[in-house]
Amino acid sequence: MIRSLPSSKKYRGGFTLFIILYFIFLFAPLVVTMILAFNDSMYPSLPWQGFTLDWFFGNGPEKYGIFHDQTNLRSLFTSFKVAVAVMIVSTFLGTCAAFLFEQENFRFKNALYFLMIAPLVIPGVILGISILMFSNTIGLFIEDHLGIYVSFLGPGFPLVVLGQSSFISTIVALVVSARLKKFDHTLEEAAYNLGANKAEVLWFITLKYLRPSIIGGAAMAFLMSFENFNTTIFLVGSQATLPINMYMQVRDGSTPVINAISFLLILGTSIFAVVNLTKGNKKLL
């Protein structure tokens, strides 16, 4: 039954087979996607036509690899900009929230805490449309009453960043809170006794202690922003982010350049995941 108990060969073998099948199920789509990035064919499918790097480096006339594909490169850059902005905003908000809920006491604390975790159980689509509608209403109001057209309230970069931050901040807050809970407050007291002021204690003691979780939360925020589709689709303006650009290509039929992008992204996220997990940041899903 378990390690310490005797079990029949059949039971153990059957269970192992199930796990092997499960892992094949888990990895098959990823492995196939990665391999087909190197197939010398115009379509992401078999038969195998030979090995090529054209879908990475090809520069026409037939095949444009990812490094020469202007549309995809532009959306990659857009996603990168968005992800950096979201990382900064949500790391700041999340860390503030962690301090607020772990170290301060105030009226309606529980109600506010409930509001903070609510974005985790609100579907991303709803966050997207509600923020779109709200900012549109504000934009119309300003235009009607002040006669100014405020462009950042329409779909576009600022709205995407705000929309994604609305729920990614919560995740950073939970990651940072988990570490702040274990903080030994005698360290702070010792620093006060030695004459440090509040800002110094915060900077040299508490934040220093929190650094691994803040870095972990920020990395997580970057990745979640980079991959987000559901919220972004409603807020994006003329500049598509990478997932949205890829979605349109996948839906309408694509060349293996999508596989090449996927190859790079899978490689990137895997390295990122393994580094994070082996460093023991188990809180990071």
Please give the Cα distance from 214 to 88 (Å, whole number).
Answer: 11
Run of H or E including 266:
helix 257-278
Start-to-end CA span in the chain (Å): 29
Please give the Cα distance from 38 to 233 (Å, whole number).
Answer: 30
Please give the Cα distance from 206 to 229 (Å, whole number).
Answer: 35
Are 128 and 208 in contact by the 8 Å Cβ rule? The answer is no
**Residues 54-113 contacting another protein, CB under 8 A:** 92-93, 96-97, 99-100, 104, 106, 112-113
**Residues 207-266 contacting another protein, CB under 8 A:** 223, 226-227, 229-230, 233-234, 243, 246-247, 250-251, 258-259, 262, 265-266
Among 13, 22, 149, 185, binds another protein (CB under 8 A): 22
Q: What angle do CA 135, 224, 248 make, to 5 degrees?
A: 75
Q: Is 2 in the site for another protein (CB under 8 A)?
A: yes
Identify residue 152 by its one-letter amino acid code: F
Among 72, 78, 169, 255, binds another protein (CB under 8 A): 169
Q: Is 182 in the site for another protein (CB under 8 A)?
A: no
Please give the Cα distance from 153 to 104 (Å, whole number).
Answer: 33
Min dist. Cβ of residue 135 to another protein (A): 8
Q: Which CB, 61 or 186, lies closer to another protein?
A: 186
Min dist. Cβ of residue 274 to another protein (A): 6
Q: Which CB, 57 or 113, lies closer to another protein?
A: 113
Q: Is 24 in the site for another protein (CB under 8 A)?
A: no
Q: Tokens 């939970």 belong to which residue?
A: 174
Q: Which CB, 52 or 102, lies closer to another protein?
A: 102
Q: Is 39 in the site for another protein (CB under 8 A)?
A: no
| 227 burial via Cβ count (<10 Å: 0-12, 13-18, 19+) | middle
Please give the Cα distance from 125 to 134 (Å, whole number).
Answer: 14
253: left (phi over 0), alpha (psi -120 to 50) or beta: left
Are 175 and 216 in contact by the 8 Å Cβ rule? The answer is yes
Select the span of 25-33, 59-67, 144-152, 208-216 touching another protein (CB under 8 A): 25-33
Q: Is 3 in the site for another protein (CB under 8 A)?
A: yes
Q: Tokens 């500049």 belong to which residue?
A: 239
Select the span of 29-37, 52-60, 63-71, 209-217 touching another protein (CB under 8 A): 29-37
Tokens of 273: 């995941």
Select the span of 50-58, 68-76, 194-202, 207-215 touching another protein (CB under 8 A): 194-202
Q: Is 116 in the site for another protein (CB under 8 A)?
A: yes
Min dist. Cβ of residue 157 to another protein (A): 16
Q: Is 157 in the site for another protein (CB under 8 A)?
A: no
Q: Among residues 274, 232, 278, which one has the least CA distance to residue 78?
A: 232
User: Contacts with another protein: how many residues (CB under 8 A)?
Assistant: 90
Q: Is 174 in the site for another protein (CB under 8 A)?
A: yes
Mask for 117-136, x = binds another protein (CB under 8 A): xxxxxxxxxxx-xxxxxx--
